[in-house]
Structure 1
């Protein structure tokens, strides 16, 4: 049986157009339940300077509803090749996500409507390894500390939630042949050795 390779744009797009599959993938990566997912796909063709070709890449953006009723914005980017300008492009893309009106919601406070920003979680699928870290899946978690005592602060603050984000970096070449977790089993779909 032949299985389509999800690292290719058209397959990745088709995979995430199925809400059940997209919800399973996002929930498994986040390690928590996702009650609802509403995709907002964005495709772009990027001309590459000093090259005779363009790179087609797929960004996936979805609003998820957590079991507690709260919402978050999840962005997924798949990057197959390593180019020097990638980090700046990732930063611009992330900045654009913070600016988008679609990444806000309205709440009523004391009878007045206020716009709030959705918390953003970024998921990067890399088709190449990072230079110094070789783990298949790396989670970057924001935590707040009292700088004078070193004590970790509990709870969340809207100001901090609106200006920082968690991230997951999936290094496809680092995926293990022997899966140790449910997440690794799911991600084995992306393993290029299979």
Structure 2
């Protein structure tokens, strides 16, 4: 079966716009049953754009694809509303983009609700945030691990024991994260989640990189709606055109980054050359100073022996004016 490659932003967005499919995928990742799932009104989809630097020059700027959901999940304590934030990037250019966006999530007033404490006091509490990162490049220290869960825990510092009950204050200020390394998905398919996420496995791409060839039978029946949604995306001409636009942009970005690297190397060479010339001039100055000091010592001896300016000038090769200046400095 031929499916559209979900590593492309346009395909991933098409996939997640189907509520049934989005619930299947997100429930599998977070390991909780999602009862209801809604796009949040502040959904952000990063656009591929160019930033003007001068009148003649444009600089490519990569913006990370972002998507937010409000989800009602089933927990041991009952139903709970959480915020699911997804960020997806092909390149690990700048971790600050992830941090800035996460900071905005914590500040968003729509992500808070009023809750009564056991004493009856009303307090403002933040919805728990779950962040999911799809990465197109491997992380240096996590190679070979396709899915990493970073789970916030409350620990009794004295005993070292985990505190099992959940506290709103802690939930409002910490969050759980899932990091999915797309390049590592091809190596292991040990459980249903790794099988499901193999829709991102790039080992079966076609020459254009737009299409993946998968076998529907490899996926559990409950996840086949995901595969069929991607199959439908592959047949959409608008989707395929936008995939090509993403390719063109990334190609421009790579060219730009190469230009930056070459420019850096040229600057490095120029800096090294300038430093070498500076050192050479400094050495020449030091040598001249050394010669001059020796010459001064000779002139001082000539002066001490009562030799005239003319005799000293003839002996040293210095002009009468230079000798006279040095003689006068001895007075």
- State the TM-score, normalized to the length of structure 1: 0.90
Tell me: CA distance 1:132–1:47, structure 2 relative to 1, closer, same or farther (3 Å).
farther
Q: Deviations over 1:125-166 (max 9, x none)?
A: 000000111210000011111111112211111111100001
1:188 aligns to what SS in structure 2? Answer: helix
After TM superposition, list the pairs within 5 Å mapping 1:1-194 onto structure 2. 1-40=1-40, 41-45=43-47, 52-67=59-74, 68-83=78-93, 86-107=94-115, 114-134=123-143, 135-194=145-204
User: Counterparts of 1:139 and 1:49 in 2: how far apart (Å)?
Assistant: 39
Compared CA separation, residues 153 and 178, structure 1 to 2 (3 A): closer
Pair 1:49–1:140, CA change in 2 (3 A): farther
Number of aligned pairs?
A: 192
Ranges in structure 2 where 5+ consecutive residues have no aligned partner: 205-331
Tell me the distance in 2 between the aligned counterparts of 1:139 and 1:153: 19
Q: Secondary structure at the match of 1:44?
A: coil
DSSP-derived class of the 2:195 partner: helix
Shift of residue 53, structure 1, vs aligned partner: 1.5
Equivalent residue of 2:85, what SS? strand
Q: Is the 8 A contact 1:48 1:55 kept in 2?
A: no
Matched-pair contact (CA < 8 Å) for 1:9–1:57: no
How high is the TM-score relative to the length of structure 2? 0.54
Pairwise CA distance, 1:56? 4.3
Runs of at least 4 residues of structure 1 off by over 4 A? 46-51, 108-114
Tell me, what secondary structure is at the counterpart of 1:27? helix
Report the structure, 1 or 2, having the larger helix content. Answer: 2
Contiguous gaps of at least 5 residues in structure 1: none
